[in-house]
Amino acid sequence: MKIAYFDCFSGISGDMILGALVDAGCELGRLEAELRKLPVSGWNISAERVARGALSATRVKVVSHEHHPHRSLNTILRLISEAGLPPRVATRASEIFQRLGESEARIHNVPVEKIHFHEVGAVDAIVDIVGACVGFDLMGIDEFAYSALNVGSGRVQTDHGVLPVPAPATADLLRGAPTYSTGIERELVTPTGAAIVSTLASEFGAQPPMTIATIGYGAGAAELHEQPNVLRMFLGERGAHEAGHDDITVIEANLDDMNPQIYGYFVECALAAGALDVFSTAV
């Protein structure tokens, strides 16, 4: 089972994910060939090696010449379904945009079918999300794990005006995920990045047991003074957990004034239900 672990110490965004994938060996030509199946035009994609602090990373840029980026959720889902993409790519991309739409609907208190995306409806955002899913498929990634996410702080300019960081859509998408801020005054986790994380994540926290095959560094657009603005992706196979180290749950309880005959019956029921062991100790 191939797994990707994302170290989000400087946040995460769609273009950073693309950069990490290309840096880890995903061929840009194959990636672009799949993306050209989308029935949208007026965009270009490129990759270059850049320095972010002391680290070398790959910066992937998607440049769009589009002037009217507002699209409804249904329009975007139709673009994806009509593109002839591999089934896993189309499914993942559609689920990400569906989650984005549901988040926007909650924030603005409107039905999801009336949602019109602004920034994330633009061609470059569509290419970022679909491109990430194409890259995941080309690299054969089955599972996704993420560290806690550094969201940044301060304010960000959007089509809805100046908003706090993390932006409302980002904050909503990251409900249930571990987040923190080191005080860097910049939006480090974008709505696009948050949507990809919240849709595909199988787990959060420390790096899971895995055998690392390759590491990719995806560069963010800005240069941070405090630390390298990169996303680090570890790619490999699931490790020790599948090699015989299983997680178990231990249930303990103190019992008072219970008929001893009930205990024997409980032991039989617990073992029949799958308990590995049952025992009692006099207190």
The model carries a pTM of 0.82
Rounded-to-integer distance, Cα 84 and Cα 89, Å: 10
Structure tokens at 5: 């672990």
Instruction: Collect all residues with Cβ–Cβ distance below 8 Å to 212 and sequence separation of at least 6.
Output: 234, 235, 236
16-63: per-residue pLDDT in tens? Answer: 999 999 999 999 999 999 999 999 988 999 999 999 999 999 999 999
Asked if 48 contacts 58 with a C-beta cutoff of 8 angstroms, the reply is yes
Q: Is 33 helix (H, G, I), strand (E, B) or coil?
A: helix
245-254: per-residue pLDDT in tens? Answer: 567 889 888 8
Rounded-to-integer distance, Cα 143 and Cα 145, Å: 7
Terminal-to-terminal C-alpha distance of the chain: 46
What single letter denotes the amino acid at residue 115?
Answer: I
153-180: per-residue pLDDT in tens? Answer: 998 887 778 889 999 999 999 999 999 9
Q: Where are the domains of the chain?
A: 2-243
Biggest distance spanned by C-alpha atoms of the chain: 78
